[in-house]
Amino acid sequence: MRSSFAKSIYVGAAVLGLAGLSAVTTTTASAKSYATAGSYTALTKGQNVLVNGTSAIYSKPGTVKGAKVVASKKTVAKLAASKKSSDTFYAYGTKTTNRGSVYYKIVTMDKKYRGYIYGGKTAGTFAGGIKATNTVTAAANPTKLQNYYLKDVSKNTLWTAPKGTDINATKVSLYGAAKDDPFVVDQAATKTREGSLYYHVTDRNNSKISGWIYAGKGYDATLADSKQDLGGLSLDVSEDAATADNSVSIVYRTADGAKVGSTTWIVKNPAAATHADGDVVLTDKNAANTTLPDYVTQNVPDGYTVTSAAVTSAKYGQTTYVTVAKAATSKVALKVNSVENRLKDNQGHSVVTEDDNGNVGVTATTVSPVLTTGSSLTASDLTITPKDLSLLKGEATQTPISQDNLGSIATMLGTDTIQGNKNYTDADGHYYHYEFTLNTAAFKSDNRNAKYGDTLTANYDAQLVGGKVNATNASDNSWIAQ
């Protein structure tokens, strides 16, 4: 992960004074027109580059006697079109011919191709057959940063840079890392060519163990932990291999016997399997500290809900069958319960102004209400997703939603004040936005007769607040004094 370097990089004291000679070509010249090259000079700072297929790669500058083709134009064109980071080049040295042509010494990230390629007429810039590139692109950090685990310490290696994006990328030693060591995410990036996502993680128990790892699709707050696609990471501690003495096979099937899914629960403490007759005690837990009953519920296939599960009679080394039914999944509609359009600053104080005579009064800024009671909120106004979608699922027979479950759904929606997603401005260019608080009492009352599959209503109280959304300084309301 090396950035473009300044054009002023010193590339050697090559002879550049022979003007008027014919332009350089990318094929070996005849004996009459051989060029000579100055001495090799290492770049003070290497650069990741892409080839464009217009120039071949040679064992020495292409117009110098004895230059041999390392990679033909056809091969270079394939490398230019490649979507693999390993086919990106790294430029690390240069030679300049007596005709003023600059050649760069380059090598692919996988070290397969190495040689000289024409790079234009100006030392320190990349033209001709190559151009500078960034091999990674910064990405937003996931909403969850703590408590990730390596799926397999022996296989899921960390790298000093996402594999194939830096010529000096190496594996990070995981010596001393335990499978239950929690890792913390502090950066995210995608490989520019592949688009694959990587997280930079650090072992919370040993900060010396730190590096980049493939993160799959990345953490998705709308999915249950068991449904996440995190590449070499997991939200659960890696488990031992399943054996007849430490695991229970789980098969999900409908009432007519059709199999719709399966999974395996593995006990954390193998000694637990010594229970009488191999019975699973319902307090036994796996590596993620999940009991068998909870695991069965958490891993039910999408679109289904559990109707019966014989977990009380489960035995190690055997299969437990779980009966499921098509689920009716409710959605949540966001509504405005009340609106306070008297402008407040980010500290909750009323906004006041002072006129030229020193008179203090309410804000002179006229703010037109944007929201009204009863209006609908959308994802562009307020992004809210229950973290546990299973709370919105029930049997397809329109089972009523209990008050306890409604309370749990309200908790999942969040009871703290949440900033809206939109900035607004008044006629004078002053910024303001809304903050929202879920009316939990109204939520349970409004949905008291709801059944699974119905659309639930979440009413929010809206408060107008001065300043931009997500201001870096929450108390920055300098516009108030304008």
Q: Are 31-132 and 135-238 equal in CATH topology?
A: yes
Q: Is 445 left (phi over 0), alpha (psi -120 to 50) or beta?
A: alpha
Q: pLDDT, tens digit, for every residue of 98-121? A: 999 999 999 999 999 999 999 999
The answer to whether 59 touches 116, Cβ cutoff 8 Å, is yes
Q: pLDDT, tens digit, for every residue of 72-84? A: 999 999 999 999 9
Per-residue pLDDT at 346: 46
The answer to whether 255 touches 323, Cβ cutoff 8 Å, is yes
Least reliable range by pLDDT among 25-29, 97-101, 160-164, 265-269 = 25-29
Degrees (nearest 5) of the Cα angle 291, 232, 113? 170
Per-residue pLDDT at 342: 65
Q: Which CATH code for domain 135-238?
A: 2.30.30.170
Q: Which CATH code for domain 31-132?
A: 2.30.30
Give mean pLDDT, residues 223-244: 83
Q: Distance between CA atoms of 192 and 78, rounded to whole angstroms?
A: 17
* Structure-model confidence comparison of residues 89 and 408, the more confident one: 89
Q: pLDDT, tens digit, for every residue of 184-195? A: 999 999 999 999
The answer to whether 247 touches 266, Cβ cutoff 8 Å, is yes
Per-residue pLDDT at 79: 96
Q: pLDDT, tens digit, for every residue of 335-392? A: 999 887 766 544 444 444 434 454 444 443 445 667 888 888 887 788 776 666 678 8
pLDDT band per the 50, 70, 90 thresholds, residue 274: low
Exposure letters 216-241 (e unless 16+ CB within 10 A, then b)? bebbbeeebbeebebbbbbebbbbee
pLDDT band per the 50, 70, 90 thresholds, residue 236: confident
Q: Considering only CA atoms, which of 450, 447, 451 is closest in space to residue 399?
A: 451
Q: Return the bridge partners of 237, or none.
A: none
E-state strands within 41-88: 41-51, 57-58, 69-71
Q: Considering only CA atoms, which of 157, 155, 159, 149 is closest in space to residue 203?
A: 149
> Which of 44-53, 394-403, 433-442 is the most confident on average?
44-53
The answer to whether 44 touches 124, Cβ cutoff 8 Å, is no
Tokens standing for 415? Answer: 């009871």
Per-residue pLDDT at 1: 46
Q: Distance between CA atoms of 461 and 140, rounded to whole angstroms?
A: 30
Q: pTM for the full model? A: 0.52
Q: What are the domain boundaries of the chain?
A: 31-132, 135-238, 247-327, 331-481
- Compute the Cα dihedral for 35, 39, 40, 43 and give only its sign: negative
**Phi, psi for residue 391 in degrees, rounded to 5:** -70, -20
Residue-averaged pLDDT of the chain:
81
Tokens standing for 384? Answer: 């809210």
> Which of 363-372, 429-438, 466-475 is the most confident on average?
429-438
Give mean pLDDT, residues 408-412: 85
The answer to whether 73 touches 99, Cβ cutoff 8 Å, is no
Q: Which long-range contacts (CB under 8 A, 24 or more apart) does 367-370 make?
A: 367/341, 367/343, 367/424, 367/426, 367/432, 367/464, 368/426, 369/339, 369/341, 369/464, 370/424, 370/434
Per-residue pLDDT at 367: 57
Give mean pLDDT, residues 460-471: 78
Q: How far is CA 79 from CA 3, 82, 115, in A?
A: 21, 5, 14
Exposure letters 436-472 (e unless 16+ CB within 10 A, then b)? bbbbbebbeebbeebebbeebebbbbbbbbbbbbebe
By DSSP bridging, strand 424-425 and strand 233-234 are: unpaired
Give mean pLDDT, residues 276-290: 80
Q: Distance between CA atoms of 112 and 170, rounded to whole angstroms?
A: 17
